[in-house]
Amino acid sequence: MSRDKNPLSAYVVGSHIAFVVAAPLIFFIGGGTWLTAYMEWDSWVNIVFILLGIIFMVSGLVTYLVKLVLMYGDHEKEEPAFKPEKKDFDFYYENDKN
């Protein structure tokens, strides 16, 4: 059974997407909120951690989706319209008797 038609493949991809979205949010937003409360930092530092969580989540999701499209996408390559022959770039003349 190919990777495209395997029903378990959809669950694996779904769980990867959920992890890619949830992990940075939990780490940066949850951990950053806890850290600012524990260290008694200003409240604007929370905003920095929230923005970092969102930026890392979006970048990870975009990277994962691009790799997913490359993995499952159509890989047909077009043939060039004109393919030069090997002799066109060869500067050795076989019939030259000099």
Could you tell me the residue ranges of all domains in the chain?
1-98
CA atoms within 13 A on the CB side of 69: 5
CB 25 within 8 A of CB 57: yes
Tens digits of per-residue pLDDT, 79-92?
A: 767 776 766 666 65
CB atoms closer than 10 angstroms to residue 84: 8
Asked if residue 95 has pLDDT above 90, the reply is no
Across 9-13, average pLDDT: 87
pTM of the model: 0.68
Dist. CA 46–CA 54, nearest whole Å:
12
CB 9 within 8 A of CB 3: yes
Asked if residue 76 has pLDDT above 80, the reply is no
